[in-house]
Amino acid sequence: MQIEGPIEEIIFRNEQNGYTVFVIDFKTTPVVCVGKLINANIGENLSLEGEYVNNSKYGYQFSFNSYEVVLPTTLSGIEKYLSSGLIKGVGPITAKNIVKHFGKQTFDIIEMSPSSLAEVKNISMKKALEIGDKFKELKKLQNSVMFLQKYNITTNMALKIYDVYGAKTIDIVKNNPYRLVEDIDGIGFLTADKIASSLGIPKNSEYRARAGLIYSIT
């Protein structure tokens, strides 16, 4: 089952493993959700895949196993997203000024033409470019973690992989998931083999042979 909405309240968050209890506004109805997020900021719009569970202590909750960050499309949603703390240097006043200036084109401007942000009051060219870089970095991180989650990689492990590969994470894993065996502590041959199988990498791949050899002698 899939539900979508902005984070309205964060009830609990474990910064060590990303486990978060929060409330989203799903079709004007508040829904308590539980699961692991990269980060959690009020105003961030999420699409969650999971199911409702009846917790004996806390009642019905939506337990999700995967999610996607969905950029808001309304002016109020865009402003709320920008002022949520996700992008360093953008607070409520700056967010309001940016949205007032660029309207629904805000995200396109930030991603494709960040220098244009210098047109906004109190935003220098340096700050404009920093906002653009941070937005792109955040997007790449989120996309990489969501990609890895499809292969049952935990949020913590996904972040660990991203720390090593950075923006090249998806390309590297798609091309040769067996690199994970050599480069990432905690990823074994069997995990890499499952990912490779899902990606359609042949069993006679030289990458698989190398990783299997390393696995057998360690």
State which residues form the domain around 119: 75-140
Give the residue from 53, 59, 132 showing the smallest Cα distance to 98.
132
Which residue matches tokens 């959700």? 33
CATH of the domain at 64: 2.40.50.140
Within this chain, do residues 158 and 183 fall inside the same structural domain, yes or no? yes
Q: Model-level pTM greater than 0.85?
A: no
Within this chain, do residues 52 and 99 fall inside the same structural domain, yes or no? no
Within this chain, do residues 171 and 210 fall inside the same structural domain, yes or no? yes
HEC letters along the chain: CEEEEEEEEEEEECCCCCEEEEEEEECCEEEEEEEECCCCCCCCEEEEEEEEEEECCCEEEEEEEEEEECCCCCHHHHHHHHCCCCCCCCCHHHHHHHHHHHHHHHHHHHHHCHHHHHHCCCCCHHHHHHHHHHHHHHHHHHHHHHHHHCCCCCHHHHHHHHHHHHHHHHHHHHHCCCHHHHHCCCCCHHHHHHHHHHHCCCCCCHHHHHHHHHHHHC
Within this chain, do residues 11 and 60 fall inside the same structural domain, yes or no? yes
Whether 81 is in a domain gets the answer: yes
Within this chain, do residues 166 and 203 fall inside the same structural domain, yes or no? yes
**Tens digit of pLDDT for each residue in 67-117?**
888 888 889 889 988 888 778 889 999 999 999 999 999 999 999 999 999
pLDDT at 214: 75
**Tens digit of pLDDT for each residue in 126-146?**
999 999 999 999 889 888 988
Average pLDDT on 43-48 reads 87
**Number of structural domains the chain divides into:** 3
Within this chain, do residues 91 and 115 fall inside the same structural domain, yes or no? yes
Within this chain, do residues 88 and 136 fall inside the same structural domain, yes or no? yes
CATH of the domain at 134: 1.10.150.20
* Residue at which a domain ends, from 92, 107, 140: 140
Whether 80 is in a domain gets the answer: yes
pLDDT at 157: 86
Within this chain, do residues 48 and 94 fall inside the same structural domain, yes or no? no
* Residue at which a domain ends, from 26, 42, 69: 69
Whether 145 is in a domain gets the answer: no
Whether 184 is in a domain gets the answer: yes
**Tens digit of pLDDT for each residue in 149-173?**
888 887 778 888 999 999 999 999 9
Give the residue from 46, 53, 56 showing the smallest Cα distance to 22.
46
pLDDT at 172: 95
* Residue at which a domain ends, from 69, 88, 120: 69
Average pLDDT on 49-65 reads 87
Mean of the per-residue pLDDT values of the chain: 89
Copy the structure tokens of residue 49.
């895949």
pLDDT at 69: 84
Q: What percent of the chain has pLDDT over 90?
A: 47
Whether 149 is in a domain gets the answer: no
Within this chain, do residues 102 and 51 fall inside the same structural domain, yes or no? no
With bands split at pLDDT 50, 70 and 90, how would you rate the model's confidence at 218?
Answer: low
